[in-house]
Amino acid sequence: MARTDIEDIEVELFQRALLARHGYDFGGYAPASFRRRVLNLASSLGCGSVGELTSRMLREDALLPNVIAGLSVPVSEMFRNPSTFRALRTEVFPILGSYPLINIWQAGCAFGQEVYSLAILLEEAGLYDRCQIYATDFSDAALARAQEGIFPARDARQYSENYLAAGGKRSLSDYCHARYDFMKLDDRLRRNVTFANHNLVCDGVFCEAHLILCRNVLIYFSDALQDHVLALFRDSLVRNGFLCLGNRENIDFAPAGRDFAAVDAAARIFRKNAGNG
């Protein structure tokens, strides 16, 4: 049997063992992406094979945070795809402003760059004091870093350029301070943010939201799991609520996608149809 065939079997056994032992279900993830992450995880933890990784994961409870952190995909940046944030500011925020209280769910928040980006633009739009942002991820390690609001200073120039392209009205330096090789976002940006663990695969409705952002997460899911998550978002949104996805994601293929209408197709901003809740 070829080595790749053996690895495929080991990856499948690892996935089943992780579900049985700790309740984390990765069965709906895109197979090639999940396989690549498991192999990288085994290598990073010094395991000679995925089989060895599975054995350690089953017996060493302390290893679980490292496993979950290694399987997550916390890749983001502040104001990523600035045109999307500009579209939120010009097309969505004015409608959100008609509500006395605004609930926003940032699902799959990773290290929090997009959470702070959203807080900044809401602050500049005069809406932040009426907002409650729920930032969720299934990785406790990612959530811990998100709550710190500390990012490498080497990214500051790119973040600043993105901020201005997104329609920022001030200077990004007004919202952070640099020390050594890091930049720290001001604590005031966290005042209306709640960070919490939530697994899109197996957890239910998290809150009643006026806006849900889940960008560049669905691309790692199978078609069936994407449809499941889109249905979860539909059920979590208020009547006429908004959904913002990543620029490589779409909803046309999914049955649940019929419950949304495009507000700005290029920016991947959709609105829940009025007839659905």
Q: Letter for the amino acid at 222?
A: S
pLDDT-derived band at 275, boundaries 50, 70, 90 = low
Domain residue limits, the chain: 3-71, 82-150+189-272
Q: Which two tokens stand for residue 45?
A: 């933890």
Rounded Cα distance, 174 and 156, in Å? 12
- CA atoms within a 13 Å half-sphere pointing along the CA-CB vector of 152: 5
Model confidence at 71, in pLDDT bands (50, 70, 90)?
confident
Amino acid, res. 200: L
Cα–Cα distances in angstroms (integers) from residue 55 to residues 21, 38, 62, 83, in the given order: 11, 14, 13, 46
pLDDT averaged over the chain? Answer: 91
Q: Is the pLDDT of residue 276 over 80?
A: no
Angle ∠(140,40,138) on CA atoms, nearest 5: 20
Confidence of residue 1 (pLDDT cuts 50, 70, 90): low
Tell me which of 223 and 233 has the higher pLDDT.
233
Fold annotation for 82-150+189-272 = Rossmann fold (3.40.50)
The secondary structure of 187-216, three-state, reads HHHHCCEEEEECCCCCCCCCCCEEEEEECC
Residues in Cβ contact with 54 at an 8 Å cutoff, skipping those fewer than 6 apart: 10, 13, 14, 17
Which tens digit of pLDDT belongs to each residue from 135-164? 999 888 889 999 999 999 999 999 999 999
